[in-house]
Amino acid sequence: MASPLATRVSKTIKERKLFRQGCRTVLVALSGGADSVALLLVLQELGYETVAAHCNFHLRGAESDQDAAFVTDLCRKLGVQLHQTDFDTIAYARQQSLSIEMAARELRYGWFARLQQDLDIENVTVAHHADDNAETMVLNLCRGTGISGLCGMPYKREDGVVRPLLDASRKEIEEYLAERKVSYCTDSTNTDTRFRRNLIRHRIMPLLHELNPSVDEALARTRENLEGVAACYAQALEPLRQELHASGKINIQTIQSSPAPFTILYDLLHPFGFNRSQIREMATAMDKAPGATFYSPTLRLIHERKALALLPLASDPSGKEYYQLNLADDKLDLPDGKRLTWRKGTPSELHLKSLHRPNKQLLLSAKAVEMMGTLILRHPQHGDYIYPYGLKGQKTVSRFLIDRRIARSRREQTWLLCHDEDVLWIPEHGADRRFALDALHPSEEYILFSFCP
Q: What is the mean pLDDT of residues 415-431?
A: 92
SS3 for 186-239, per residue?
CCHHHHCCCCHHHHHHHHHHHHHHHHCCCHHHHHHHHHHHHHHHHHHHHHHHHH
**Is 443 labelled as part of a ligand binding site?**
no
Q: What is the mean pLDDT of residues 423-434?
A: 93
pLDDT at 328: 86
**Is 187 labelled as part of a ligand binding site?**
no
Confidence at 300, pLDDT banded by 50, 70, 90: confident
pLDDT at 317: 39
Tell me how long the chain is: 453
| Residues in contact with 395: Cβ distance below 8 Å, sequence separation at least 6, in sequence order | 385, 386, 387, 388, 403
Contact 107, 58 (CB under 8 A): no
Confidence at 397, pLDDT banded by 50, 70, 90: very high
Dump pLDDT digits (tens) for 169-227.
Answer: 999 999 999 999 999 999 888 888 888 888 999 999 999 999 999 999 999 999 999 99
Confidence at 363, pLDDT banded by 50, 70, 90: very high
**Is 33 labelled as part of a ligand binding site?**
yes
Contact 53, 60 (CB under 8 A): no
pLDDT at 168: 96
Among residues 299, 298, 317, which one has the least CA distance to residue 309? Answer: 299
Dump pLDDT digits (tens) for 266-280.
Answer: 999 999 989 888 999
Dump pLDDT digits (tens) for 324-357.
Answer: 898 888 999 988 889 999 999 999 999 998 888 8
The more confidently predicted of residues 419 and 315 is 419
pLDDT at 319: 45
Q: How far is CA 148 from CA 140, 141, 265, in A?
A: 10, 11, 16
pLDDT at 318: 43
**Is 330 labelled as part of a ligand binding site?**
no
pTM (predicted TM-score): 0.67
Q: Say which amino acid occupies 19.
A: F
Mean pLDDT of the chain: 91
- Is the pLDDT assigned to residue 409 strictly greater than 80? no
pLDDT at 255: 95
Q: What is the mean pLDDT of residues 222-233?
A: 92
Q: In the chain, pLDDT over 70 holds for what percent of residues?
A: 98
Confidence at 233, pLDDT banded by 50, 70, 90: very high
Given CATH 2.40.110.10, say whether it is the number of domain 4-219: no
Contact 24, 49 (CB under 8 A): yes
pLDDT at 373: 80
| Residues in contact with 164: Cβ distance below 8 Å, sequence separation at least 6, in sequence order | 9, 12, 13, 18, 39, 42, 43, 125
- Whole-angstrom distance between the N-terminal and C-terminal Cα of the chain? 74
- Is the pLDDT assigned to residue 386 strictly greater than 90? yes
Compute the distance between CA of residue 10 and CA of residue 42 in angstroms, rounded to an integer. 9
Which of these ranges, 136-150, 152-166, 270-284, 301-315, has the smallest mean pLDDT? 301-315
Confidence at 316, pLDDT banded by 50, 70, 90: very low
SS3 for the chain, per residue?
CCCHHHHHHHHHHHHHCCCCCCCCEEEEECCCEHHHHHHHHHHHHCCCEEEEEEEECCCCCHHHHHHHHHHHHHHHHHCCEEEEEECCHHHHHHHHCCCHHHHHHHHHHHHHHHHHHHHCCCCEECCCCHHHHHHHHHHHHHHCCCHHHHCCCCCECCCCEECCCCCCCHHHHHHHHHHCCCCCECCHHHHCCCCHHHHHHHHHHHHHHHHCCCHHHHHHHHHHHHHHHHHHHHHHHHHHHHHHHHHCEEEHHHHHCCCCHHHHHHHHHHHHCCCHHHHHHHHHHCCCCCCCEEECCCEEEEECCCEEEEEEHHHCCCCCCEEECCCCCCEEECCCCCEEEEEEECCCCCCCCCCCCCCCEEEEEHHHHHHHCCCEEECCCCCCEECECCCCCCEEHHHHHHHCCCCHHHHHCCCEEEECCEEEEECCCEEEHHHCCCCCCCCCCEEEEEEEC
For the chain, give every domain's residue range. 4-219, 248-315, 322-452
pLDDT at 408: 63
